[in-house]
């Protein structure tokens, strides 16, 4: 994917809020989601974030604002979910992006139809952008893997398969929610240190994991693999993902089959999906240490190495009940970049389908925890606090080894590069509620 006129840093919109330097949603972004006016029984439909407004794609379609493929795409977006639009493929996605860019460009002579199709973001509620049929969570950060292994084994050796393939497990769809989700503290079995019999009760080591959600656009037939060279043509875009984790439950149940109750209770997504086209200017080279195994042929496309990584900046902040009481801003815990991942989006998709698995429009892949090489780039509390042995001290005077009831985790993401506009993902926020346990 290459930059085009929709990435022009000098492009301005006639919508003033889209030109505000602080907005995550300038004209160069145009992320997709589903919405309706809050407090109404309206059907959810597709929308695009621009400045402090939502472009109502259903209303634009009814107004006949576009022609040809862009009109067909807008019509598909008038549905409660965007699956049909995703299934139309990259040409349709690009046609609608270009048409929206032209409609809201400050140089447009008649902006009437665009003005009539705007709804203030402050007055909407979000729906799930797509029907998610399946969810797969990957494990692709070498720094996260090393940090975790060092906490478990003195030698700190990452499992041999990590450097040969993108490891993953199938997750739970029913508990996926959007930003604003209230997450009930889970319960399950735990084996205390030195104990011989497990107990059961509320999780005491609740954690977040900073990830990106990878939204599949076009699927593949069962038994047909997706080549790595064309894998990104099957990805519509990315959002922020919080892969909540119950570490004490996880430690006991994960051998031999991996995560179950420790991961099934909640996954939180940000409501806006930033398209792969919007991310084109922020590409960077993907590299592999020369002493590490080089990818097998089905995971290798040398021509893609120059641009397979994406520099998406990500941070996590914590807001406790005391923050809210004293009107304090959330405390930043870490900041990192997606460019550090050991495996790329294309490699994840290609590996997912190598056995013949059929991905479908709207399927969700988690990138795995995104951590960088330094400690302040860790994407989870278990890394930041050394498994709870080195609690974080907050400006409120509180300390945290793991999350407590009333804590809210706030994730944000953005891309910036000289010569291009700064674009953002919005916010992914969710609050921890007490367990229900008698």
Which amino acids are annotated catalytic? 144
DSSP H or E stretch at residue 310: strand 309-310
Residue 405: exposure state from Cβ atoms within 10 A (0-12, 13-18, ≥19) = middle
Tokens standing for 39?
């407090």
DSSP 316-359: EEEE-HHHHHTTPPPEEEEEEEGGG-SS-HHHHHHHHHTT----
Cα–Cα distance for residue pair 125/42, rounded to 1 Å: 11
Which residues, including other chains, have CB under 8 Å from residue 204's CB and lie 6 or more apart?
190, 248, 402
SS3 content of the chain, % helix, strand, coil (to 5): 25, 25, 45
Q: DSSP state, 311?
A: -
Helix intervals (H) in 87-141:
90-104, 112-115
β-strand 364-366 against 135-139: which pairing, if any? parallel
SS3 159: coil
**Degrees to nearest 5, angle at CA 135 with 134 and 138:** 145
| CB contact at 8 A, 225 and 356 | yes
What is d(CA 253, CA 249) in angstroms, rounded to the nearest whole number? 6
Do 256 and 428 meet the contact criterion of CB atoms below 8 Å apart? no
């Amino acid at each position: 994917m290459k930059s085009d006129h929709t990435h022009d840093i000098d492009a301005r919109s006639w919508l003033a809020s889209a030109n505000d330097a602080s907005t995550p949603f300038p004209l160069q972004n145009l992320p997709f989601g589903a919405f309706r006016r809050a407090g109404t029984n309206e059907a959810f439909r597709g929308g695009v974030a621009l400045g402090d407004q939502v472009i109502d794609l259903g209303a634009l379609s009814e107004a006949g604002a576009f022609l040809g493929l862009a009109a067909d795409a807008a019509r598909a977006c008038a549905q409660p979910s965007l699956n049909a639009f995703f299934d139309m493929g990259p040409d349709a996605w690009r046609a609608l992006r270009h048409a929206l860019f032209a409609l809201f460009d400050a140089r447009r002579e008649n902006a009437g139809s665009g003005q009539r199709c705007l709804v203030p973001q402050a007055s909407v509620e979000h729906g799930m952008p797509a029907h998610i049929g399946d969810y797969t969570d990957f494990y692709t950060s070498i720094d996260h893997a090393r940090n975790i292994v060092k906490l478990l084994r003195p030698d700190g050796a990452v499992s041999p398969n990590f450097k040969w393939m993108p490891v993953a497990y199938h997750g739970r769809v029913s508990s996926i929610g959007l930003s604003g989700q209230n997450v009930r503290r889970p319960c399950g079995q735990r084996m205390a240190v030195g104990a011989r019999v497990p107990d059961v009760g509320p999780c005491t080591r609740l954690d977040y994991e900073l990830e990106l959600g990878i939204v599949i656009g076009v699927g593949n037939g069962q038994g047909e693999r997706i080549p790595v060279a064309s894998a990104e043509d099957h990805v519509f875009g990315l959002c922020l993902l919080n892969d909540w984790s119950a570490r004490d439950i996880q430690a006991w149940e994960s051998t031999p089959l991996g995560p179950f109750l420790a991961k099934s209770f909640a996954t939180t997504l940000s409501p806006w999906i930033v398209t792969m086209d919007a991310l084109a200017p922020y590409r960077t080279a993907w590299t592999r240490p020369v002493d590490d195994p080089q990818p097998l042929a089905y995971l290798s496309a040398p021509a893609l190495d120059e641009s397979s990584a994406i520099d998406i900046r990500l941070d996590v902040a914590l807001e406790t009940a005391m923050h809210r009481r004293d009107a304090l801003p959330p405390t930043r815990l870490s900041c990192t970049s997606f460019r550090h991942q050991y495996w790329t989006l294309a490699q994840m998709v290609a590996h997912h389908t190598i056995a013949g698995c059929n991905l479908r429009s709207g399927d969700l892949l988690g990138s795995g925890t995104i951590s960088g090489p330094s400690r302040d780039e860790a994407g989870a509390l278990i890394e930041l606090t050394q498994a709870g042995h080195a609690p974080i001290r907050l400006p409120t005077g509180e300390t945290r080894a793991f999350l407590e009831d009333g804590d809210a985790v706030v994730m944000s993401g953005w891309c910036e590069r000289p010569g291009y506009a700064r674009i953002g993902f919005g916010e992914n926020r969710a609050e921890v509620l007490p367990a229900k346990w008698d």
